[in-house]
C-alpha cells in the first residue's frame, strides 16, 4: 500500500478515534484524512502532479501532519525541512529538487520570501496563516473549506518516490535521500512489530517531523491506528512531562540530549511517567551510564536502544531484555532487514573486529537525488550475490551472537542534539565573515548534547570577538548548527601532509579542557 492508503483505511475503520493531539485540538482519523484531502485538492488545482516535489517547512503541529499526507494524496513527493532552516538552505533546496509548491508556517514566510529571490521559476506557496512577505500565497483556512478535488490515480505504485529527506555528507554537500512509499511503509511496519504498537498506544513526540526519527512516529501511529501527541519541541521539558502524564502516553521517543536533560533535573517525579510502556532512543547511542540511570529512574519502562540512518530510516534495535547483558549494544537487525559488519574486502568481519556496518533490505533508500556517484558509493553490490547493500560509513563491532556495537564515524560528521552536522557547512558560513582568515570545526564531547560544535578560528582582524562570530553564525545557520564555543588560535592543526585535521583539533580541545569535558 501507498502511505496515504493507510490513512484512508484508518478513516474508514477507526474514523472517530483520535489520530492527533496538537495543543488543545484533537483530530480524528476521519477529520485528518478529510482535511488532508482538501489540501491535496488545492495542490492539484495549482498544477502539482505525480512525482512533483513539495517542500513542507513547518513547526510540529496539525498543519505539518496534514501537509505531509496532502502531498502523498496528491501523488507528489514530500521534502520536509527543519523549521530552523535559514534562507540559504531553502534556496539550495529550491534549486536542487525544484519543487512545484511550498507549504509554509506563517511565521517562516520571511525566510521563504528571501529564498525565492534566488529561485527563478514561479512556485505555488500555501501558508498556514497570512504574512505580508508573501501576499499572493494561498491560505490553509480557505483550502480546508474547499471541496476535495478528484485526483487521478495515474497508476501510482508503492515503488513511487514518497520523500526526499535531505542530510549532509562528509563533504558538507547536502544530499537528498530518496525514499519510496514501500521503503517508509516497510520501516514503519518493522518498528510496529518490535515495539508491539497497537491502536491502544498513545505516543508523545517532540521530534521534528522533518527528521526521519520524527516522521516515523507519525507513520507508525497511522499504520497501527495509535494516537500521536505532537509537541513542538523539548524547550520546556517539565511541560512536556506533564503533557505525557495528562495524555497517559504509552510511548516516548528520545534522543541522548533529552535523556541527559532528564537526568539533570532535580526532584523529577517518576509519577509523571507512570503510563509509559516503552521509551526509545536513536540518533546517537546513549552512554551506558545514562542507560543505567534511566532504568533506575523508570524501572518498569522498556528501553529500546536503536540505530539508523536517513538512508535506511532504522537498521537495528536491542530488545530490552538484553540491556543488562549488552548495555552498550544497539542490537541486531530490525525485522525484515539484515545488518552486519564487513571488513575492508566487504566480507563478514571476524567477531569483535572493527569494520563497517552494511545494511540491506526493504527500508534501504533508492539512492540520492540526482547524485549517481554518491549513490554508487553508498549502494554497492554484495561481492558474492550482487545484491545492493547500504554501506553506512560507520564503524561497528559484532559479537559472536551478532549483536552490534557502534564504535565511531568514518567521516567527520558531528551529531549534536540528535542532528547530523557537516563541519564544512559551518566553515563556509564562518569564512564568509570579514575578519576570519581560517576556520576549522570539530565535534567535542558534551555531557548534554553528546557532541557540541566548536570552531577553531584564525583571525585576520584582531578586533573580532567571539560574540561577533556567534551572532554571524546564528543569522546564517540552523540553531543546532551554531557552534557552542569559538577558540581563537594562531594556527590550525594540520597532519604531516599539510591537511587540516578535525581530529587533532578535537584532541587539542581535550588537552586544554581536561579529561572531564
How would you write the pLDDT of the chain (517 residues) with one tens digit per residue? 999 999 999 999 999 999 999 999 999 999 999 999 999 999 999 999 999 999 999 999 999 999 999 999 999 999 999 998 999 999 999 999 999 999 999 999 999 999 998 787 779 999 999 999 999 999 999 998 877 767 766 778 899 999 999 986 434 568 999 999 999 999 999 999 999 999 999 999 999 999 999 999 999 999 999 999 999 999 899 999 999 999 999 999 998 878 878 987 889 999 999 999 999 999 778 878 889 889 999 999 999 999 999 999 999 999 999 999 999 999 999 999 999 999 998 999 999 998 999 999 999 999 999 999 999 999 999 888 888 999 999 989 999 999 999 876 677 778 888 887 878 788 889 988 989 888 889 999 888 888 899 999 989 899 999 999 999 999 999 999 999 999 999 888 865 434 577 778 888 775 556 444 3
Can you give the pLDDT at residue 272? 98
What SS3 string covers 287-328? CHHHHHHHHHHCCCCEEEEEECCCCCCCCEEECHHHCCCCCC
> Domains in the chain and their CATH numbers?
3-8+28-156 (3.40.50.980), 185-409 (3.40.50.12780), 414-513 (3.30.300.30)
Half-sphere exposure of 313 (CA within 13 A, CB side): 32
Give me the phi and psi of 499, to 5 degrees please.
-80, 145
Whether the model clears a pTM of 0.75, i.e. scores above it, the answer is yes
Give the separation between CA 92 and CA 429, rounded to whole angstroms: 14
Instruction: Name the 3-class secondary structure at 174.
Output: strand
Give the separation between CA 511 and CA 517, rounded to whole angstroms: 10
Give the cell for residue 67. Answer: 501537509
What SS3 string covers 390-413? EEEEEEEEECCCCCEEEEEECCCC
Q: How far apart are the first and last CA of the chain?
A: 49
Q: How does strand 414-416 pair with strand 202-205?
A: unpaired
Can you give the pLDDT at residue 419? 86
Amino acid at each position: 500500500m501507498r502511505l496515504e492508503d493507510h490513512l484512508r483505511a484508518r478513516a474508514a475503520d477507526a474514523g472517530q478515534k483520535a489520530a492527533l493531539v496538537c495543543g488543545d485540538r484533537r483530530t480524528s482519523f476521519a477529520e485528518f484524512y478529510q482535511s488532508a484531502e482538501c489540501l491535496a485538492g488545492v495542490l492539484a488545482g495549482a498544477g502539482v502532479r505525480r512525482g512533483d516535489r513539495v517542500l513542507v517547512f513547518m513547526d510540529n503541529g496539525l498543519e505539518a501532519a496534514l501537509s505531509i499526507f496532502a502531498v502523498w494524496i496528491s501523488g507528489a513527493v514530500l521534502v520536509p525541512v527543519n523549521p530552523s532552516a535559514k534562507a540559504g538552505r531553502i534556496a539550495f533546496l529550491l534549486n536542487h529538487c525544484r519543487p512545484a509548491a511550498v507549504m509554509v508556517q506563517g511565521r517562516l514566510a520571511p525566510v521563504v520570501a528571501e529564498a525565492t529571490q534566488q529561485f527563478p521559476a514561479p512556485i505555488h506557496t500555501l501558508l498556514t496563516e497570512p504574512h505580508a512577505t508573501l501576499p499572493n500565497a494561498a491560505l490553509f483556512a480557505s483550502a480546508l473549506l474547499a471541496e476535495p478535488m478528484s485526483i487521478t490515480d495515474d497508476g501510482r505504485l508503492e515503488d513511487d518516490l514518497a520523500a526526499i529527506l535531505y542530510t549532509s555528507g562528509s563533504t558538507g554537500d547536502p544530499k537528498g535521500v530518496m525514499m519510496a512509499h514501500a521503503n517508509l511503509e516497510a520501516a514503519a511496519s518493522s518498528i510496529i512489530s518490535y515495539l508491539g504498537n497497537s491502536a491502544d498506544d498513545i505516543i508523545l513526540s517532540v521530534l521534528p517531523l522533518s527528521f526521519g526519527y520524527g516522521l516515523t512516529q507519525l507513520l507508525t501511529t497511522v499504520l497501527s491506528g495509535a494516537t500521536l501527541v505532537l509537541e513542538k519541541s523539548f524547550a520546556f521539558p517539565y511541560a512536556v512531562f506533564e503533557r505525557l502524564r495528562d495524555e497517559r502516553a504509552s510511548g516516548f521517543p528520545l534522543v541522548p540530549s533529552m535523556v541527559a536533560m532528564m537526568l539533570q533535573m532535580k526532584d523529577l517525579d517518576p509519577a509523571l511517567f507512570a503510563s509509559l510502556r516503552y521509551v526509545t532512543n536513536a540518533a546517537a547511542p546513549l552512554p551506558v551510564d545514562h542507560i543505567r540511570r534511566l532504568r533506575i529512574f523508570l524501572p518498569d519502562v522498556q528501553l529500546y536502544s536503536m540505530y539508523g540512518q536517513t538512508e535506511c530510516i532504522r537498521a537495528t534495535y536491542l530488545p530490552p531484555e538484553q540491556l543488562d547483558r549488552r548495555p552498550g549494544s544497539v542490537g541486531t537487525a530490525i525485522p525484515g532487514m539484515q545488518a552486519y559488519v564487513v571488513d575492508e574486502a566487504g566480507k563478514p568481519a571476524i567477531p569483535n573486529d572493527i569494520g563497517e556496518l552494511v545494511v540491506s533490505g526493504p527500508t534501504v533508500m533508492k539512492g540520492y537525488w540526482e547524485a549517481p556517484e554518491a549513490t554508487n558509493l553508498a549502494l554497492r553490490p554484495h561481492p558474492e550475490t550482487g545484491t545492493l547493500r547500504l554501506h553506512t560509513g560507520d564503524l561497528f563491532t559484532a559479537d559472536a551472537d551478532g549483536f552490534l556495537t557502534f564504535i565511531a564515524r568514518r567521516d567527520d560528521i558531528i551529531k549534536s542534539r540528535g542532528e547530523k552536522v557537516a563541519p564544512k557547512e559551518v566553515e563556509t558560513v564562518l569564512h564568509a565573515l570579514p575578519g576570519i582568515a581560517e576556520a576549522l570545526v570539530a565535534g567535542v564531547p558534551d555531557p548534554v548534547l553528546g557532541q557540541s560544535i566548536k570552531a577553531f578560528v584564525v583571525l585576520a582582524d584582531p578586533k573580532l570577538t567571539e560574540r561577533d562570530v556567534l551572532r554571524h553564525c546564528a543569522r546564517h545557520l540552523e540553531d543546532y548548527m551554531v557552534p557552542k564555543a569559538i577558540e581563537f588560535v594562531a594556527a590550525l592543526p594540520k597532519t604531516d601532509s599539510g591537511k587540516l585535521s578535525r581530529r587533532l583539533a578535537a584532541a587539542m580541545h581535550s588537552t586544554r579542557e581536561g579529561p572531564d569535558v
